[in-house]
Structure 1
Amino acid sequence: MPHAGLKTIIALSFVLAIGFLLVILSSALYGQYSPLFVVATYLVAPIPNAICGRYASTYNDDFMDSGSSASSVLDLGRFLTGFLVLMGMALPAVLAHAGVIELGAMVMSIIGGLLIYGTIIAFTMFFQEESDF
């Protein structure tokens, strides 16, 4: 597994800040603040995965395999998280198609979202705990 150093943390934080800057600028430069709805999906997206992971870990013990119920709850959490991430990418496109925001705002918002989600994935990859099993 990769080991995260100080340079990695600084680089990922810089990319995350650039992503948020692009999302904020996509709203401020064009005078339409509708792309800021995408920030709500960044905040809500990890919640289903955390809730379902917590539920599955409390009802899954080492001695008795609870089988499909814990697995299906984890799959539901991943599905809902994936849906919210996809919604965060598609919302600017829908807003631009409806004429609510301009094309430049859409592009900046989508690129900012990709940077933010990519950084979150990289953070979890670098700071994932290793198991001894």
Structure 2
Amino acid sequence: MAGIKALVGLSFSGAIGLTLLLLGCALEQYGVYWPLFVLIFYFISPIPYFIAKRINGDLDTASSVCMELGYFFTTGIVISAFGLPIILARTGLILWGACGLVLAGNAVCFFTILGFFLVFGKGDDFSWEQW
């Protein structure tokens, strides 16, 4: 039952994050959809972790070069997702209000992704590997 509650909570927070992102694009005073490119970062952010986890296998080491490289690339992708709206606002393609909404949506969405891996990535009988 705890897994279902966590899944519902993560779904709700993901919906809040995407709502903030869409508000930064679709409100009448902003009206440009350039910030939607951060959706690409949402989809590719877990990929380096998945690859590193698959290559690392079942080693019982606390740290490995492969996992650290996966964390490094994931961190670079997340920082790029926060940097894109700032660069778009500095060049004048979007307004600063839209940038603030997109940054808030980024924070909520990435904490949701992190929460998903913390809750369902433990390797017990109810994990993300079943999905």
Residue segments in structure 2 that go unaligned for 5+ positions in a row: 125-131
Question: What is the aligned partner in structure 2 of residue 104 from structure 1?
Answer: 97
Distance 1:122 1:4, change over 3 A: farther
Q: Superposition pairs for residues 57-72 of structure 1, below 5 Å?
A: 57=57, 71-72=64-65
Work out which structure has the larger RCO, using CA pairs closer than 8 Å and 6 or more positions apart in sequence: 1
Question: What is the aligned partner in structure 2 of residue 43 from structure 1?
Answer: 43
Distance 1:61 1:77, change over 3 A: closer
- Moved beyond 6 Å, runs of 4+: none
Highest CA radius of gyration, 1 or 2?
Answer: 1
Q: TM-score, normalized by length of structure 2?
A: 0.82
Q: Which secondary structure does the structure 2 equivalent of 1:101 belong to?
A: coil
Q: Distance between the aligned counterparts of 1:117 and 1:19, measured in 2?
A: 9
Q: Of the candidates 69, 79, 95, which is equivalent to residue 76 of structure 1?
A: 69
Aligned residues between the structures: 121
Q: Which secondary structure does the structure 1 equivalent of 2:74 belong to?
A: helix
Q: TM-score, normalized by length of structure 1?
A: 0.80
**Deviation of the 1:124 alpha carbon:** 1.8
**Deviation of the 1:22 alpha carbon:** 1.1
Q: Distance between the aligned counterparts of 1:111 and 1:74, measured in 2?
A: 28
Report sequence identity in percent.
Answer: 38
Residue segments in structure 1 that go unaligned for 5+ positions in a row: none
**Deviation of the 1:101 alpha carbon:** 0.5
Name the amino acid aligned to 2:14: L
